[in-house]
Amino acid sequence: MFRLATFLIIVLAAAPVAALDLFGVALESAGGDELRRAVAEAGMVPIREGGEDAWFDIYDSAAVLDGSTRFYLGVVKQDQRFAFAEYEFRGLNPKPILRRLITKYGAADEIRAGRYLSDRGYRWRRDGIDIELVSDWQNYRFRLSYVDARNLADLQAEKASFAAQQQAGTGQLSLY
């Protein structure tokens, strides 16, 4: 009996842990096309797909997540790695979303105090992905973001390189 129990513990401990997913797709290993397909199958309505000079997709998310208005999806162009996904919500009451996040991920790993009690920021780190719920007071919004920091840095580097090439291609210097 002891050997069987030990064997089961070893097998269960060695079993792969499920990666953080969004729409049933593991974010760590997902490609851009796979993510876009999953977003569409979830019922998001595309507003704009990223292109040569657009660095992320924009979707209408109202039918998928109550209270949300937009969903943004960014992938590294070079190899289509996931960089970020973000829901945007109108208003300044993130409590319903916060409750869902706590139910799914447990207590936040980090709580950042804001100027007021109601503008706290919450952060979880799961499977190499930062999950953040933050208020955007100036725009009367709050945002739920899933970010792979390394991939986002690569996406931002691609964007900076593209901007530098565009600037060099114009051959003009602006003093304004």
Joined tokens for residue 83: 């960089």
Residue range 128-165, pLDDT digits in tens = 999 999 998 888 999 999 999 999 999 999 988 888 88
pTM: 0.82
The number of residues in the chain equals: 176
At residue 38's C-alpha, the angle toward residues 32 and 39, to 5°, is: 90
Please report the pLDDT score of residue 60 as a whole number. 97
The answer to whether residue 8 scores a pLDDT higher than 60 is no
Please report the pLDDT score of residue 54 as a whole number. 86
Q: What is the mean pLDDT of residues 15-41?
A: 82
The answer to whether residue 174 scores a pLDDT higher than 80 is no
Between 164 and 44, the higher pLDDT residue: 44
Task: Write b or e for each residue in 15-28: b if 16 or more Cβ atoms lie within 10 A of its Cβ, otherwise e.
Answer: eeeeebbbbebebe
